[in-house]
Structure 1
Amino acid sequence: MSPAMNTATALAPEPGVTTVEHTFPQLLEQLAAERPDAIAMQEKRYGIWQPMSWALYRERVRDFAHGLASLGVQPGEIVAVLGDNRPEWLIAELAAQSLRAAVVGIYPTSIGEELRHVLSVAASRIVVAEDQEQVDKLLKLRDDMLAAGEQFRVERIVFYDPHGLEQYTDPLLLDFTELEGHGRAWGEEHPGWLDAQVRAGTPDEIAVICTTSGTTSRPKLGELSHANLLAMAENLTTIDPIAPKDRYVSFLPFAWIGEQMLSVACGLSKGLTISFPEDSATQRANLKEIGPDVMFAPPRIWESMLSEVQVRIDESGWFKRLMFGFGYKVGDDIAQRRVQGKAPTLGQRILSPLATLVASHPVRNHLGLSRLKRCYTGGAPLGPDVFRFFHAIGVNLKQIYGQTEICGIAITHRDDDIAFHTVGTPIPGTELRIEEGQIMLRSSSVFQGYRGNAEATAEAITEDGWLITGDAGYLDDNGHLVVIDRAKDVLRAPDGTLYSSAFVENKIKFSPYVEEAVAFSSSDGDGLTAIVVLDPATVAAWAEHERIGFTTYTDLAGKDEVYDLIAEEITRSNEDLAESIRITRFVILHKQFDPDDDEITRTRKVRRNVIGERYAAIIGALQRGDAEVSITSTVTYQDGSRVERPLTLRIFDLSTYQIPPGRGRRPVWSGRR
């Protein structure tokens, strides 16, 4: 992919923060003293935004910390938190840290073995759970473990949404507000005790434990100190300043490092106001109401926003489509000049206000992005075409690169230095080098190690502090990092071309009709094959427009017209790929990938090894060039019953396919042919 793949290259780091002097609870004390009445966070409940000042935030953290102390929580212990983003999540986190303990976040969609694994490795006695759903999962896990003769370490489950739990009498359960009340009484009996604990805390103590993505195995638990996270926050805001009045909408799981680094680390170091949507169904509407100044979201969110724009524009009349096309073209041309370091031409400056009026401003306003100063994406590659779309409509979107093991952000773009095919350059204080094609990083944000796994820690960090990322990449001519894929997943085509399956998959996923794609080599060496998962919303909208009837996702995925639609999309993607790595055959999967089936991680990264094993029959048929493949699908109903259904999936051979004559390339902003 680049001659730099097999050479050793490095970038000298910009000066960054050298020391961190505070912990998160100490920063909260400062903010409550300096800005007691300013809004620290707000949550929408029953249609009304409920604000919480820094003074009230501190008071609730202290009450809950006293409550945890009354349960015997000790320094160095780990409190688990399981649930969606709510103020109580952060209150529990800061309360545990006030006692010089740490928190481990568990994704609210986690079940069974994943729950057991995290709780076992963390040895958590106290779990703070959101609601009845999470409590039921924990109680079931307890019953299953006890029935199997295993030890269940959890001694208390503290829930913060009591709805549906009024009749529960299990002695493990305790209401969040009830524990706050116990804490107030306990604090009155121990005056000055918590203040001493907070003052005694040091930045080098473990603050948060985040699970790794676990794409190939069970997730590891990365230990991050206060100093790790706050050094990252200080270094990031050196290049991307955050002001106390800035707004941030928190809708990604706190168990993910991406949310910890912005909501918690940047939030507390800069006094950011955090808003919590009412629920997942209202996220987009709440985002529009708040109009955040800063935003972070994984590629899937940005891809879904683009898909939404495409659907809405395709439903518009011809005049609106014409005007948007004009405005987008002007914005795209200006964005292209800016990323090349050039100023807009006189003609572009004259047309820009009109283009903003008819295209970019209405779209940004509809998406809730009208006030954004800058926003980030990371966790997986974002297709250059999607990246380019948002810059064309005036959204200052930046790629980031990092891992849980280095607090999420190590590399990002600068405002005046964007390249759509790269992830940018190191933030201040971060060293980057490439050795034999592998990316290595060093900074004060490199984690402390994996909980209970010294062997994996030794494999991840060298003796002189370099983090071995396991990713392959190279530096382009401008010193930007280009990430290829996991080093073990970089492949070589029969003609010697080095390629990444992820790069090919992202080309396919740029289509608004494709939610996921997994590429595999052909047994005959003739290009690649792919399993494609449809985006149900956009394909359904297209089918309705084309007057194609369907019932379920499986029914829609088997339509000949849908296969023709995807064939054209993949053929367009192939035009930008070397011939030896083009997709030659594909199948549309009968279902979406599901994290509960271990097919994707909670952050929507494909678990390639699981896909390879579970769909081995489909992959084999693709590689052999069969015309179809017969499989058995398991359908699980809400009552837990399962039914086995035989299915026959069509395999589409692109070698004889041709796009109908006269059909132009679909514009980026439209799903129409």
Structure 2
Amino acid sequence: MNGARPGSLIAALARNAEQYGDRIAFRERDFGIWQQATWKDVRDTVLALAAGFEELGVVPGNAVIVVGDNRANLYYSMLAANVLRAFPSPIFPDVPVDELETYTRFGNPALAVAEDQEQVDKLVGLRERSGRPKVILFDDPRGLLRDRPEGVLSLDEVAARGKARLAANPGLAADLLSRCQPDDIAVLLYSSGTTGLPKGIPLRHRNVSGGIENAEKGGYFRPHEELFAYLPTAWVGDFVFTLGAGLMLVATINIPERQETVLQDLRAVAPTFYLAAPRAWDNMLTRVQVGMADSTPLKRRLFDYFMPLAVEQERQRLAGREPGLGGKLLHALGEILVYGPLKDQLGLSRAERAFTGGEAMGEDTFLFFRALGVKLKQFYGQTETSALSAAQSEGHVKLHTVGPPMPGVDIKIDDSGEILIRSASVIDGYFDDAEATRKALVDGWLHTGDAGYLDEDGHLAVLGRVSEVVRTGAGERYIPNYIENRIKFSQFVRNVAVIGAGKPFLSAIVCIDLEATGHWAEKRAITYTSYAELSQQPEVYELIAGVLQHMNASQPEGLKIHRFVNLHKDFDADDGEITRTRKLRRNIIEERYATLIAALEGTADSASFDAEITYEDGSRGKLSRVLAIREVPA
């Protein structure tokens, strides 16, 4: 964009209100109707909330807890904290009250902002345990109009108080807008905590703005995008790609009515920039396949003819070979009959910039969406780098890399194979953790903890976590996560844990994908009443054996999966088996399923397992299950 880059999100907000005041900044669906706010409206609301927060005791250096799904008022509250040189600390909305203290231990959070009664109740429970936050503000008033706990107020009430302060003090608005500095913390996020207590990761305003500037220079962002705010607010992808980019590049941020309406609201918005995790793209592909299977015979025939054609053309295009005139004419016809209508149905008709990251994506899914005409690309980043480090660019897309470093980003590989990054988007250190900072940041380079390499074109390939490099009993070196991601390329596998460190061979604990596998079973008249029953069907075991057999075909002999079990349930964050960002907590899985792992090492064709279950009232019980164990065919 023209002019100097704003040094902070609040400077960007002030600029937007001054130069683009009448442009739509936020659109939020409420009872089916899109409510709009201009940049002037947003500035005024943020200043009113900031004036109210200050009256409630928020001071520079404080954390402000934010918990709930995507809501305009929650984003405004984050910015209001920034105005006061405090910082938001968003928490995943499904975090139970027992874990809240872990995610609120930094920044002396005396004030919290909650979406609704459910989150207010959790925060009240946290206050009873830890004594904070003293003040809890809520957005949705349902269930909170009467009999509120002490210190619980509505955001509307606080905004009204702030407006009164601003009206009584004409110079206060300008004063508030001038306080925030580039070195201030913009947001406090947390690491996934796969191997221990999650670390606090403070992103400063200059980190966020620097990362977005790098991305814009590389063509990954453009001014005035239409963004879709549905990602978890506690994930770096939402803060940087939605709120940060929305402010810095004067975009329009569209917010769905609720998580249950995301798909229909996505179609109504048709964003120009769309980011989703690989699993979300997999689910979208599954939805298309299920929909086409249930469609009319004519539509199925058109889909079955044109989609393989488009996929093959895209495969050739990625190999540097453009289709001839006949191929181009067929593709144009396919655009009219199949590709265009599908993109419109999915809400991707305007998605000029579509990205995926966080883990590896399956080749089939990647090729499908690119063949459809969605210019899907992979990117790589971590919370510590403001999520912006490397990304593919159109015309230079490779299936098995995440692209070259972005402009302004230096990447190198050290002698151990670890990826090191240096950029303005990299944090200065972890919150109140000098030892972790000392290990991660050396001579200006961030040690990412990821293993990878740069290919002959300077494109980065990411293999997995360095800490997860292990050896089999025979000494074969491998990274479990790399193999797991390749197995999860299948639509029928939701989660998987590969077991093999110090073992004679590799085995796998597989969690099937209920939707995809359930639809597969229904088409074959296989009856079931629950996830557990479906997972143990002999036909489903044959299906998963085929998935593992396919993966084994590209593995060296010592790193093939030999035996597997279909688990009776998916790995669950509430059970501590995965993090809120769906990363395996390997030590917990290996401890909890030790009896299964022992059976996988042997020759038994089944194993008895006492499954611990948690009821809705919080009480726990045990349920004994017999799980089948199968060999993977050679």
For Structure 1 versus Structure 2, the TM-score category normalised by the shorter chain is: over 0.9
Contact 1:341 1:417 in 2 (8 A): no
CA contact under 8 A between 1:377 and 1:398: conserved in structure 2? yes
- Residue 608 of structure 1 deviates from its aligned partner by 1.7
1:55 matched to 2:40? The reply is: yes
Counterpart residue number, 2:399: 420
1:117 aligned partner: 102
8 Å Cα contact 1:512-1:535 kept in structure 2: yes
Cα separation, 2, equivalents of 1:372 and 1:498:
40
Question: Aligned ranges for residues 349-364 of structure 1 at < 5 Å?
Answer: 349-364=328-343
Match for residue 308 of structure 2 among 313, 326, 329: 329
Q: Which deviations, in whole Å up to 9, do the C-alpha atoms of 1:245-277 show, x marking residues without a partner?
A: 421111011211111111122111111101111
Measured in 2, the distance between the counterparts of 1:570 and 1:560 equals 15
- Determine if the alignment matches structure 1 residue 394 to structure 2 residue 373: yes
> What are the superposed Cα offsets for residues 205-264 of structure 1, whole Å, 9 maximum, x if unpaired?
111111112222221111111110001111101122544442111101121111111112
Structure 2: unaligned runs, 5 residues or longer: none
The residue aligned with 2:260 is 281
Q: Percent identity?
A: 39
Shift of 1:497: 5.3
**Contact 1:521–1:623 (CA<8 Å) still a contact in 2?**
no
Pairing of 1:430-441 with structure 2 (within 5 A): 430-436=409-415, 437-441=417-421
Of the candidates 433, 438, 442, which is equivalent to residue 453 of structure 1? 433
2: CA distance between counterparts of 1:495 and 1:636? 39
| Change in CA separation of 1:393 and 1:440 when aligned onto 2, cut-off 3 Å | same
Aligned with residue 479 of structure 1, among 431, 434, 458: 458
> Does structure 2 conserve the Cα–Cα contact (< 8 Å) formed by 1:302 and 1:386?
yes
Distance in 2 between residues matched to 1:119 and 1:194, nearest whole Å:
30
Which of residues 144, 153, 156 is equivalent to 1:165? Answer: 144
Asked if structure 2 preserves the Cα contact closer than 8 Å seen for 1:96 and 1:102, the reply is yes
Aligned partner of residue 439 in structure 1, secondary structure: strand
Deviation beyond 6 Å, 4+ runs, structure 1: none
Is the alpha carbon distance of 1:97 and 1:420 closer, same or farther for their aligned partners in structure 2, counting shifts above 3 Å?
same
Which residue of 2 is the match for residue 88 of structure 1?
73
CA distance in 2, matches of 1:581, 1:334: 33
Go from structure 1 to structure 2 and tell me whether the alpha carbon gap of 1:615 and 1:244 turns closer, same or farther (over 3 Å shift): same
Tell me the residue number matched to 1:628: 606
Q: In the alignment, what sits opposite 1:606?
A: 584
The residue aligned with 1:99 is 84
SS across alignment from 1:596: coil
CA distance in 2, matches of 1:191, 1:243: 36
Residue 376 of structure 1: how far off its partner (Å) = 1.1
Q: 1:550 to 1:297 in 2, by over 3 A?
A: same
Report the CA distance between 1:638 and its aligned residue.
2.2
Counterparts in 2 of 1:465 and 1:213: CA distance versus 1, 3 Å: same
Task: Find 1:139's aligned residue among 102, 119, 124.
Answer: 124
Q: Does 1:444 align with 2:419?
A: no
Tell me the CA shift for residue 153 of structure 1.
Answer: 2.9
* Alpha-carbon separation, structure 2, partners of 1:103 and 1:420: 37
CA contact (8 A) 1:522 1:624 kept: no
**C-alpha deviation, 1:624, in angstroms:** 2.3
CA drift at 1:523? 6.3
Cα deviation, 1:321-376, whole Å, max 9, x if unaligned, reads: 34323212222232223323333323321221122234322322222111110111
Contact 1:523/1:624 (8 A) holds in 2: no
Counterparts of 1:246-645 in structure 2, within 5 Å, are 246-316=225-295, 319-436=298-415, 437-462=417-442, 464-492=443-471, 498-521=477-500, 525-526=504-505, 528-645=506-623
1:319 CA displacement? 4.7
User: Aligned partners of 1:536 and 1:156: how far apart in 2?
Assistant: 41
Count of aligned residue pairs for this structure pair? 633
Return closer, same or farther for 1:25/1:218 CA change in 2, 3 Å cut-off. same
Tell me how far apart the structure 1 counterparts of residues 607 and 144 of structure 2 sit (CA, whole Å).
Answer: 47
Tell me the amino acid that sits aligned with residue 518 of structure 1.
A
Contact kept, 8 Å, 1:326 with 1:355, in 2: the verdict is no
1:484 is displaced (CA, Å) by 0.5
What residue number does 1:71 align with?
A: 56
2 CA distance for matches of 1:201 and 1:142? 29
CA distance in 2, matches of 1:188, 1:482: 56
Conserved? CA contact 1:105–1:210, under 8 Å: yes
The alpha carbon displacement at 1:103 in A equals 1.2
Whole-angstrom distance in 2 between the partners of 1:482 and 1:438? 11
1:498 Cα deviation after fit: 4.1
The range that moved more, 171-180 or 245-254, is 245-254
Asked whether the equivalents of residues 331 and 394 of structure 1 are also in contact (C-alpha less than 8 Å), the reply is no
Residue type at the aligned position of 1:586? F
The letter for the 1-side match of 2:433 is: N
* Contact 2:311 2:371 (C-alpha < 8 Å) held by counterparts: yes
1:68 offset after TM fit, Å?
0.6
Conservation of the 8 A alpha-carbon contact between 1:494 and 1:580: no
**Aligned 8 A contact 2:359 2:485 in 1:** no
In structure 1, how many angstroms separate the alpha carbons of the residues matched to 2:230 and 2:245?
A: 16
| Distance change (3 Å), C-alpha of 1:565 and 1:531 | same
Shift of 1:101: 1.3
The one-letter code sitting in structure 2 at the alignment partner of 1:545 is K
Greater length-normalized contact order (CA 8 Å, ≥ 6 residues apart): 1
Mapped to 2, the partners of 1:321 and 1:572 lie a distance apart of 27
* 1:126 to partner: Cα distance: 0.5
Moved more, 630-639 or 256-265: 630-639
Structure 2 counterpart of 1:209: 188
Tell me if structure 1 keeps the 8 A contact 2:545–2:633: no
* CA pair 614-493 structure 1, distance change in 2 beyond 3 A: closer
Residue 592 of structure 1, CA deviation:
1.3
**Larger displacement relative to structure 2 (32-41 or 412-421):** 32-41
1-side partners of 2:385 and 2:608: how far apart?
45
The CA deviation at 1:60 is 0.6
Q: Distance in 2 between matches of 1:476 and 1:457?
A: 29
Q: 1:117 offset after TM fit, Å?
A: 1.4
How far did residue 380 of structure 1 move?
A: 1.8
- CA distance in structure 2 between the aligned counterparts of 1:57 and 1:18, rounded to whole angstroms: 22
* C-alpha RMSD over aligned residues: 2.1
**Inter-partner Cα distance in structure 2 for 1:632 and 1:442:** 48
* 1:597 counterpart SS class: coil
> Which shifted more, 400-409 or 168-177?
168-177
1:634 is displaced (CA, Å) by 2.5
Letter matched to residue 645 of structure 1: L
The answer to whether the 8 A contact 2:84-2:179 is kept is no
Q: Tell whether the 8 Å contact from 1:400 to 1:411 is kept in structure 2 after alignment.
A: yes
Match in the other structure for 1:227: 206
Instruction: Write out per-residue CA displacement over residues 164-223 of structure 1, whole angstroms, 9 at most, x where no aligned residue.
Output: 112233212011100001111122233313422322322111111111122222211111
Asked if structure 1 preserves the Cα contact closer than 8 Å seen for 2:472 and 2:502, the reply is no
Give the SS at the match of 1:548.
coil
Q: Name the counterpart of 1:11.
A: none
| 2-structure distance, mates of 1:239, 1:504 | 31
8 Å contact from structure 1 (residues 20, 203) kept in 2: no
1:18 to partner: Cα distance: 14
- TM-superposed CA distance for 1:448, in Å, is 2.3
